[in-house]
Amino acid sequence: MSTDLGVRVQLVRNATVLVTVDETTFLVDPLFASPGEQPPVEDTPNDRKNPLVPMPSIDMSYDAVVVTHRHFDHFDEAAKEILNADIPLFCQPDEKDDFLSEGFTDVRPVDNELSFNDIAIHRTPGQHGHGQLAEEMAPVSGFIFDAGETLYLGGDTIWYEGVEQTIAQFEPDVAVLNGGEARFNQGAPITMGVEDVNAVRDATDAHIVVVHMEAINHCLLSRDELRSETENVCVPEDGEQITF
């Protein structure tokens, strides 16, 4: 997929993504563990240990790190050990002290908006599930990267009014969504499934990329299922790069 936007998205694995905006590359939600090093998410239909798949062999060059939230599949023990302590690290305000306590020295909590290399970074809302469960899973965030071209990183959220309002406000050129329809044995999904992705598709003309699939045991929606039930949506394989 190629147009004339100065934006690139490369899926690493799960929600770990390299997003490049105006020649600045952000490493999003680093999950660096080897397959099976982490326990399965409990109370789900699939009890396999995580991650389910290995890291692809790709160039991992980046200028800064963005962590949407600190659930284990978005920031893990291996990332704490591998990341340089002085890398600029953008996060939710509530999680600033956690990163500082782990030795990171350039932690930049995004309350509303910050700038980095002439890119405006906005933090956006997310709802990680429904009802009481969503409250227990909070806080989670998405991010907007705006350098003339605008990329929306949804984070772990379902389709709800906060996502709808974010899309209406920022009119992104590219939207990266966390799919997989992660769920527990009871209750509704806590990340986007087919209906959520189609709702985003109906709400925007942006290029849509769906990640967060086939890597963690409670993400039950497959890439092939999502591809077959959506239109004009890119569902990349691990390691695949899309240039816009």
At 183-193, the pLDDT tens digits run 999 999 999 99
Residue 26's Cβ-count burial label (10 Å; 0-12, 13-18, 19+) is: buried
- Alpha-carbon gap, residue 169 to 203, rounded angstroms: 12
- Alpha-carbon gap, residue 202 to 91, rounded angstroms: 29
Task: Give all strands of the β-sheet with 174-178 in edge-to-edge order.
Answer: 113-116, 119-125, 141-147, 149-153, 174-178, 207-211
Amino acid found at 195: E
CATH fold group of domain 7-243? Metallo-beta-lactamase; Chain A (3.60.15)
Q: How far is CA 86 from the centre of its chain?
A: 22
Structure tokens of 79? 């990332």
Q: Are 14 and 31 in contact (CB under 8 A)?
A: yes
Q: What is the pLDDT of residues 5-52, one digit of tens each?
A: 789 999 999 999 999 999 999 999 999 999 999 999 999 999 999 999
Q: What is the pLDDT of residues 67-90, one digit of tens each?
A: 999 999 999 999 999 999 999 999
Residue 128 has pLDDT above 70, yes or no: yes
Which residue ranges make up each domain of the chain?
7-243
Residues with Cβ within 8 Å of 239's Cβ and at least 6 positions away in sequence, in order, are 10, 11, 12, 56, 57, 58
**CB-based contacts of 205-208 (< 8 A; 24+ apart in sequence):** 206/152, 206/167, 206/171, 206/172, 206/173, 206/174, 206/175, 207/1, 207/3, 207/5, 207/173, 207/174, 207/175, 207/234, 207/242, 207/244, 208/174, 208/175, 208/177, 208/232, 208/233, 208/234
Predicted local confidence at residue 225, as pLDDT: 98
Predicted local confidence at residue 6, as pLDDT: 87
Residue 53 has pLDDT above 80, yes or no: yes
Q: What is the pLDDT of residues 196-239, one digit of tens each?
A: 999 999 999 999 999 999 999 999 999 999 999 999 999 999 99
Average pLDDT, the chain: 96
Residue 150 has pLDDT above 90, yes or no: yes
What is the band of 57 on the pLDDT scale with cuts at 50, 70, 90? Answer: very high
Predicted local confidence at residue 2, as pLDDT: 43
From residue 155, how far is each of 34, 63, 212, 228 by CA, in Å?
A: 22, 20, 9, 23
Residue 120 has pLDDT above 80, yes or no: yes
Is this structure's pTM higher than 0.95? Answer: yes
Predicted local confidence at residue 199, as pLDDT: 98
Q: Residue written as tokens 């949506």?
A: 233
Residues with Cβ within 8 Å of 243's Cβ and at least 6 positions away in sequence, in order, are 1, 2, 7, 8
